[in-house]
Each structure stands twice: as structure tokens, then as C-alpha cells.
Chain A
Amino acid sequence: MTDASLEPGPVAIREPMRFRETRRAIRTYSRSFSSMLGLVIVIVFLFIAAFGPWLAPYPQDAYGAIDFGAKLLPPSAEHWFGTDQVGSDILSRVLIGARTTLQIGVTVTGIAILIGVPLGLIAGMTSGWISEGIMRVTDIFLSIPGLILAIAIVGALGPGIINAMIALSLVWWPGYVRLVQAKTLSQRNETYVDAARALGAGPLRVVFVHVLPNCLSPIIVKASMDMGMAILGAASLGFLGLGAQPPYPEWGAMISTGRAYLPDWWWATFFPGLAIYLTVLGFNLMGDGLRDVFDPRQR
């Protein structure tokens, strides 16, 4: 996107206005230091998630290689983040764990959007018992603390990374229903929806061409923030022993096993914790920046 708008190619000539919008958005976003910091962190995280196995100095350590001769070594030139209780290189495990973390974030947020957005649209566009039913079920879900419910679901399904993702997805969608329903309610009373109906647009066209595109901005903002929150949720489940099981390289599970070695062997928990902290921070800062760009009050 950035490259395309800087080069006056044939596309830019055909649709100059669209790129003017894009340039304006980029300008607004890049004005803020924290947004740019968030973007940089997210890009670094995505890069590590993509190339982690090749970046890691001891990739076999991520999958349960044991070397008791090298256990609990402090950070050094050889092991930048030190080693854990079975002598695995923590840097390697953190780098390779990024992919798991990304999978969790994308899966949980994605499933939550796939469930929540259609339900929100239906609840917002209809009235009567369908809408009431959807909203009351949503309220019930929202009234129970998400992590507690997720723990209960994992408890029922049995611990494991897949089950943790399923549990988190099942508690994550109600937020999207609320968001999309509220936005849809305000959009459907806009005059341009009446105008579209007067032009002969059917209900599906009204929803997908007129209402949904105008709900996208808050969905994108919420999704980028939820990436961070879902990662944190999965790490919490991992820490409680309900998510990924050791020696699987998941940050929450790494903290959980490292906890027994605190405070003397602090690096076993500190570096996975730092990775979680930075990733969640990055997604949140990026979400804040996107909100600034999409917020109509800025226009």
C-alpha cells in the first residue's frame, strides 16, 4: 500500500482519490510515535513468527531436546536468554513460540469475528424475538468473566493448545455481537440506507454494501486489540497448565514451568514474559493508532 501510493503508477492515475484517502490515513497514523512503535513491534513479531525456526540458534531445543549438562545457565554470549531446567536454549524457544502465539491470536480473533459479526448484523437488522434472543445470550456470556468461562470450557474438554483456542474463541465472540449490533442499529436508521432501499436495493445488499462497510472500522480496531488480549488469554491458560503442555514452546507454559525456579533463575520466566508483554503492547498500540485513523470525529 505504502509503495503503491508513493509511485505514480497507472493505478494511481486511475483512482487518485482513493490514494489520497490512503495517504491521509498513513499521515494520521505515522504522526503518532506510539502507533509507529506498535506497528514496528507487530512487524518484528510477524517476522519472527514466520522465520523463527531459522532464526533460532538451537531449534531442536524447542521440541524437548534435553541437555542436563547445560541446565539453568544464565544469559551469556552462547545462550542470550539463558537455558531452562532441562538445558534448552530459552531464546530458541521464545523465537519458535512466536508462531504458536500468532496462531492463537489469529485463530481466536478470527473465530470470534466469524461468530460475532454475523450474529451482530442479524441482531441489529432484525427486531423481535430473533434479535432479543441473540442479545440476551450475548449478555449472559458477557456477564461471566471470560477467562473463568474459558477455564471451565478447557476443564471440560481437557487441557491442550487446540482446546485452549476453542475455549477462548467461544468466550470471545460476544464482544463483537455487542459492537456490531450497536453500530448496525445506528447505521440502519441513516438516510442513505433509506436511499438505497428507494433505489431498489434488497435487504442483503443493504447489509453487505451499505451497513457492513460502515461497521468495519471499529471491527478492525477491536480485532487488532483482541489479538493482544487473546495472546494474553492463551498465555494465562498455558500458565495455569490448561493450554499448551510442556515441552511445547508456548510462552505462557514456559512461564508456568519457570515459576518454580524463581527468583534465582529469573531468566526462565523473564524472557517469555517480556515476549508476551511486548507483543500485547504492540497490538494494543497499533489498535490505538488504527482507531485514530478510522475515528470519524477526526474528519
Chain B
Amino acid sequence: MLEPITTRPPDGPAMLSIRDLDVHFPLANGQLVRAVEQLSLTLRAGETVGLVGESGSGKTTVGKTALRLVKPTAGHIEIGGMDVIDVSARDLRKLRQKAQIIFQDPHSSLNPRMTIRRAVSEGLILNTDLRGRTLRDRVSETLTSLGLPAQFHDRYPHELSGGQKQRVCIARALVLDPDLLVLDEPTSALDVSVQAQILGILKDLRDTRPSLTQLFISHNLAVIRFLCERVAVMYLGRIVEEGPVEQVFDAPAHPYTRALLSAVPVPEAVKRPDRMRLSGDIPSPTNVPKGCAFHTRCPIAEKGLCDTTPPPALTPGPGRMALCHFAGRTTEQT
């Protein structure tokens, strides 16, 4: 088994900086989906940060908005020091070369009418002056390095397996040599054995390109622990807890993080006494609860406090943040 990544201190300049981000989508019936609310997150250069949360918590929206594929309602986003909210279309294209994304479903993220060579070439044609022989060589080299030998390069996506398609998507992003890579649940649409292959590739990526900054979106906590240095936990469009992976996973400060961690299935027949269950579903982002967004499902919520007052961002440890009235107390308990 591969070794977990050793934690590096979060120094260096910010590669991705998100401040006070709001993303709202109006519905046809006049309601407003508050997909992301007041979210701030900073990724230092070379850092890999995990973004976890259950379905509907807004993880994917954050990833897409960071690359300006979705227009934010309010807030600031900078990539490598460059503002990506108020930029012209031309400047935005320059950004494309620096920041790339890998999507969840490899089956729909490749154009069915393009050979994979063309798919991987497209970014280079759009962003660089490489043409002809050099372009071809660069594309072939990238595809081959990801385990797709030459006989695959002229195939169409429907002739490849899911894992092969995801490798094409990784090649398409990496061939531009980006500084920032957003990985939007890159393994969850694949079956387990293929997941391991792709995770191996991503792990190698950490070793071969240490300067690459990665935002790894996933609901799989084991994968986050395996690949990331820091983790941010999302609930209803907000980051409720953030910090170094080991600290957050070993001593979660937010009750939602504790619930998430205890929901991870373990291959043991013994029933865990500390299993913490959440009742009900995640509330609709069209109707976010008042006060603390989590109070409707929180086992430690206090009436008169949590359902009226939004929680402050407390600091349960160095480099950590938790959005809970009791963040100090819960760390002492666990």
C-alpha cells in the first residue's frame, strides 16, 4: 500500500484564494438556491486541499466557480494573484492555461466526436503556439505517460473504458502544465479497481509535480486522507471546519465532521459505541435554517443559541477553523 503524504507547512504564496464567495441560482418558481454562502478558502502554492461534504453541499459549485465556469453572485477569487471575477474574456482565456479541472464523470466529459488525440490537443492549440509535429509529440508523450499507449491515441471515447477515459481527462488537463488543478470527485464514477489505478496516478502526480496546487473535491474521506494535506468540510454551502488532515480527522471540532467521520464504513463486525448518526436529510439550499445552518440535525445544538445566532469562526488549534458555538468544548471532549 502507498504511504500517506507527509504534511508540509502551509507557507508560500496563495495560489487560489477565495474570499466571501456567494453563488446563488434563481429557480423558475422564484426561489433562490443558495449553493455557496460566504465561503472563504485559500490554497498555498504546492498544497493539496481536500473539500468534503455530502451530496448537495455545494462542493462541485465551488470547484467550477473557482475556475470561473460558473459566475459567482458575490465574492473575490484570485488565481496566482490574478482576479478572475472582473476580467475580460481574453484575460480569462490566459487563466485557462494556468488552472484546469478534471470532472467526475469521464463518460460525458469527452466530446464523443473527437479522437482522444484531438481532445488532448485542443487545449494546446487554444493556448500555445505548438503545432504539427511538436504538438503531436507532446500529446502522445502525455498520453503514454498516463498509461495510454500509442494504439489508443486515435480512438474515440466510446471505444475506451471508464478508467482510460479518466486518464485522457487527466492528460487533457496536465498537457497544459497548469499551476492549479481542481479534481471534482475524479474517482467516484469509476469502479473500485479502477479507482485504485487513478488514485495511484494522482499520488504519482504529487511526487512528480510538487509545485502543482490541487483542490481535491470528494465525499470519500479515505481518499482525502490519502492524498491531501489540509481538508475543508462543507455543509450547505459553507465551510464548517478546516485544518490539517490528521488533526481534523483525529480530533474533529465540529459535530458535522464527527458525524461524517463516524459514517465511514469500517471492515469490522464490532459495533462501534461512538457511532454518531444524523437524522434527516440535508436541508434544501433554497431554505437554509436560521442561526447555525446545521442546528436542525446537530446532536449538541442548544435552543436559543444555535437556532438564532450564526456561529463564529473559532480556532480550535493552530491552522484550524471551525464554525460552531462549541468548537472549543468538543475538542476537549474527544
Decide yes or no whether B89 CB sits under 8 A from chain A: yes
Report whether A214 and B112 are in contact in the complex, using a CB–CB cutoff of 8 Å.
Answer: yes
B215 interfacial by beta-carbon distance below 8 Å: no
Minimum CB–CB distance for B174 against chain A, Å: 12
A202 near B: Cβ within 8 Å? Answer: yes
Contacts of A27 in B (CB 8 A): none
Q: Is the CB of B108 within 8 A of A192?
A: yes
| B105 is an interface residue with CB less than 8 A from chain A | yes
Q: How far is B104's CA from A299's CA once the two chains are assembled, in angstroms?
A: 22
Expressed in whole angstroms, the Cα–Cα distance for A205 and B123 within the complex equals 12
B93 CB contact (under 8 Å) in A16, A200, A214: A200
Q: Nearest chain-B residue to A210 (Cβ)? A: B111
For residue B77, give the distance in angstroms from its CB to the closest CB of chain A. 15
Closest to A198 in B: B101
What's the minimum C-beta distance from A194 to chain B, rounded to whole angstroms? 6
Q: Is A191 an interface residue (CB 8 A)?
A: yes
Q: Whole-angstrom distance between the alpha carbons of A16 and B156 in the complex? A: 12
Kindly state the separation between the CA atoms of A21 and B114 in the bound complex, as whole angstroms: 12
Contacts between chains A and B (CB distance < 8 A), count: 68
From A15, A18, A191, A200, B103 is in contact (CB under 8 Å) with A191
Q: How many residues of B contact A (CB 8 A)?
A: 31
Q: In the bound complex, do residue A17 and residue B156 qualify as a contact, i.e. CB atoms below 8 Å apart?
A: yes
Q: Which residue of B lies closest to A203 (CB)?
A: B89
A164-196: CB near B (< 8 Å → 1, else 0) gives: 000000000000000000000000001110111
Is A195 a contact partner of B103 (Cβ separation < 8 A)?
yes
Docked-complex contact B108 and A190, CB < 8 angstroms: yes
Is B69 a contact partner of A213 (Cβ separation < 8 A)? no
- Give the distance to chain B from A28, nearest Cβ to Cβ, in Å: 14
CA A158 to CA B100, docked complex, whole Å: 60
Given the known inter-chain contacts A17-B115, A192-B109, please indicate yes or no for A198 contacting B154, CB distance below 8 A.
Answer: no
B69 contacts A202, CB within 8 Å? no
Chain A residues lying within 8 Å of B64, measured Cβ to Cβ, are: 194
Known A198-B67, A198-B96, A202-B93; contact A192-B110, beta-carbon cutoff 8 A: yes
Asked whether, in the complex, the Cβ of B109 is within 8 Å of the Cβ of A15, the reply is no
A213 contacts B113, CB within 8 Å? yes
Could you say which residues of chain A place their CB within 8 Å of the CB of B34? none
B96 touching A200, Cβ below 8 Å: yes
The CA-CA distance from A195 to B184 in the complex, in Å, is: 12
Question: Which size bracket describes the interface of A in this complex?
Answer: 20 to 34
A residues within 8 A CB of B93?
A: 200, 202
Alpha-carbon distance between A197 and B154 when the two chains are bound, in angstroms: 23
> Are B69 and A199 in contact, with the CB atoms below 8 A?
no
- A199 to B120 Cα, complex, angstroms: 10
- Whether B172 and A199, one on each chain, are in contact in the complex, defined by CB atoms closer than 8 angstroms, is yes
**What is the CA–CA distance of A202 and B126 in the complex, to the nearest angstrom?**
9
Q: Which residue of B has the minimal Cβ distance to A17?
A: B154
Q: What CA separation (Å) do A21 and B122 show in the bound complex?
A: 22
With A194-B69, A195-B109 as contacts: A201 and B122 at CB distance below 8 Å: yes
Question: What residues of chain B lie closer than 8 Å to A296, measured between beta carbons?
Answer: 112
| Minimum distance in angstroms from A212 CB to a CB of chain B | 10
Kindly provide the distance from the CB of B232 to the nearest chain A CB, expressed in whole angstroms.
22
Known contacts A17-B155, A17-B156, A299-B158: does B100 contact A198 (CB below 8 Å)?
yes
How far is it, in angstroms, between the C-alpha of A76 and the C-alpha of B35 when the chains are bound?
A: 80
User: Does B169 sit at the interface, judged by CB under 8 A?
Assistant: yes
A197 touches B69 (CB 8 A): yes
| In the complex, B97 has a CB within 8 A of chain A | yes
The one of B113, B127, B155, B169 in contact with A214, judged by C-beta atoms closer than 8 angstroms, is: B113
| Cβ of B322 to closest chain A Cβ, rounded Å | 32
Q: How far is the CB of B42 from chain A (nearest CB, A)?
A: 21
Question: Cα distance A213–B114 when bound, in Å?
Answer: 10
Q: Could you tell me if A196 and B122 are in contact, using CB atoms closer than 8 angstroms? A: yes
Q: Which residues of B contact A15 (CB under 8 A)?
A: 154
User: B111 contacts A202, CB within 8 Å?
Assistant: no
A220: shortest Cβ distance to chain B, in Å? 13
Once the chains are docked, how many angstroms separate the CA of A210 from the CA of B155?
A: 17
Chain B, range 146-179, C-beta contacts under 8 Å to A? 154-156, 158-159, 169, 172, 176
Task: List 11 other contacts, CB 8 Å, given A197-B69, A200-B96.
Answer: A16-B154, A17-B115, A191-B105, A192-B111, A195-B110, A198-B100, A200-B126, A201-B122, A210-B111, A213-B111, A214-B111
| Pairs A-B, 5 closest by C-beta atoms | A200-B96, A191-B109, A199-B123, A17-B154, A200-B126
Seen from chain A, the residues whose Cβ lies within 8 Å of a Cβ on chain B are 15-18, 21, 190-192, 194-202, 205, 209-210, 213-214, 296, 299
Between-chain CB contacts (< 8 Å), 10 pairs: A16-B154, A190-B108, A191-B105, A195-B172, A196-B122, A198-B100, A199-B126, A200-B96, A201-B122, A214-B113
